[in-house]
């Protein structure tokens, strides 16, 4: 049959990314406590399309995913990325995997157990000479305003916040460890299930550890600087203000490995985070 995708395009313009987006798919990821965890991901897959091709073969993305879905790990993602380049004759390939990740947590006083969910995203790219992986965790926490505590005769306003931490690493890193960096950087962590004794503890703990949004991201950055395996990080905190009609936000991004940055710079014209 006639292959329309391989015909010359009307306009000779390279496309940075073309493919499929937000395909829901079951995956298995590594779990620090239980070895493996089953979850459902939204998967997006793209390739760079040279200027002399009219289109890409969309069905091949799903075919490749079908062959590899049972064990989505870093090594398997690398295989998928390279297979995408090979089958689609592309100079670069990209993959985004978004999924909920669950950790069993104990309440601080009663030790009541419950499952806490976190949003995880893995951004991955394969270029001519280098593979690029970014792991992102989104972690809910509590923040308490130092200014409110200082000026009020009693009480202080607090709010739930979301810390987003993205990292590039030189070695394997557990999602749980990244989540812990975020949780220990705020006024207090949050829990799915709390009894009265636990509520008393987290309320007082937050009151004893007031933090601005700036304090939170600086705490995250300091911890990332100390982790030898982290070679780049981007940390943000968004506080959903309880007494203002806006959110407070702060962001820090740093490269720790100049050589990796220099190797990647020429490829990042259409960075995966833009999708």
Contact partners, residue 114, CB within 8 Å, separation at least 6:
104, 105, 107, 191, 192, 193
Let me know: does 187 contact 211? Beta carbons within 8 Å: yes
Residues 148 and 222 in one domain: yes
Q: What is the CATH number of the domain that holds 266?
A: 3.10.270.10
Nearest residue to 108 (alpha-carbon basis) of 188, 210, 180: 188
Query: What pLDDT sits at residue 44?
Result: 95
What letter does residue 222 receive in the DSSP assignment? H
73: confidence class by pLDDT, cuts 50, 70, 90: low
Residues 62 and 163 in one domain: no
Q: CA torsion angle for 153, 155, 160, 161 (degrees, to 10)?
A: 40
Question: Can you tell me the mean pLDDT for 98-125?
Answer: 96
Let me know: does 220 contact 181? Beta carbons within 8 Å: yes
Domain count within the chain:
2
174: confidence class by pLDDT, cuts 50, 70, 90: very high
28: confidence class by pLDDT, cuts 50, 70, 90: confident
Rounded Cα distance between 7 and 179, Å, is 47
Of 11-25, 48-62, 182-196, 260-274, which one has max mean pLDDT? 182-196
Residues 141 and 266 in one domain: yes
Q: For residue 101, what is the enclosing H or E element? A: strand 93-106
In a domain, 171, yes or no: yes
115: confidence class by pLDDT, cuts 50, 70, 90: very high
Domain coverage including residue 37: 1-106
264: confidence class by pLDDT, cuts 50, 70, 90: confident
Query: What pLDDT sits at residue 2?
Result: 47
Let me know: does 210 contact 162? Beta carbons within 8 Å: no
User: Among 106, 140, 160, where does a domain finish?
Assistant: 106
In a domain, 241, yes or no: yes
Residue 236 has pLDDT above 70, yes or no: yes
Query: What pLDDT sits at residue 65?
Result: 87
């Amino acid at each position: 049959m006639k292959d329309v995708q391989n015909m010359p395009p009307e306009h000779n313009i390279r496309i940075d990314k073309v493919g499929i987006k937000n395909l829901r798919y079951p995956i298995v990821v590594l779990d620090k406590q239980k070895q493996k965890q089953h979850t459902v991901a939204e998967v997006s897959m793209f390739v760079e399309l040279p200027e002399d091709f009219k289109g890409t073969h969309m069905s091949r993305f799903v075919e490749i995913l079908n062959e590899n879905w049972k064990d989505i790990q870093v090594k398997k993602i690398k295989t998928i990325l390279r297979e995408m380049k090979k089958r689609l004759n592309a100079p670069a390939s990209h993959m985004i995997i978004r999924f909920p990740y669950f950790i069993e947590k104990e309440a601080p006083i009663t030790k009541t157990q419950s499952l806490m969910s976190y949003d995880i995203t893995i951004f991955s790219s394969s270029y001519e000479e280098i593979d690029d992986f970014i792991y992102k965790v989104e972690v809910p926490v509590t923040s308490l305003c130092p200014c409110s505590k200082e000026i009020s005769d009693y009480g202080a306003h607090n709010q739930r916040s979301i810390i987003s931490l993205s990292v590039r690493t030189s070695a394997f890193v557990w999602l749980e460890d990244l989540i812990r960096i975020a949780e220990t950087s705020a006024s207090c962590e949050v829990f799915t299930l709390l009894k009265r004794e636990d509520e008393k503890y987290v309320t007082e703990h937050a009151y004893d550890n007031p933090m601005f949004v700036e304090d939170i991201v600086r705490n995250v950055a300091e911890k990332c600087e100390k982790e030898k395996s982290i070679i780049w990080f981007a940390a943000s905190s968004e506080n959903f203000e309880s007494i203002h009609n806006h959110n407070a936000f702060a962001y820090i991004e740093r490269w720790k490995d100049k050589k990796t940055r220099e190797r990647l710079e020429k490829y990042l014209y259409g960075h995966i985070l833009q999708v």
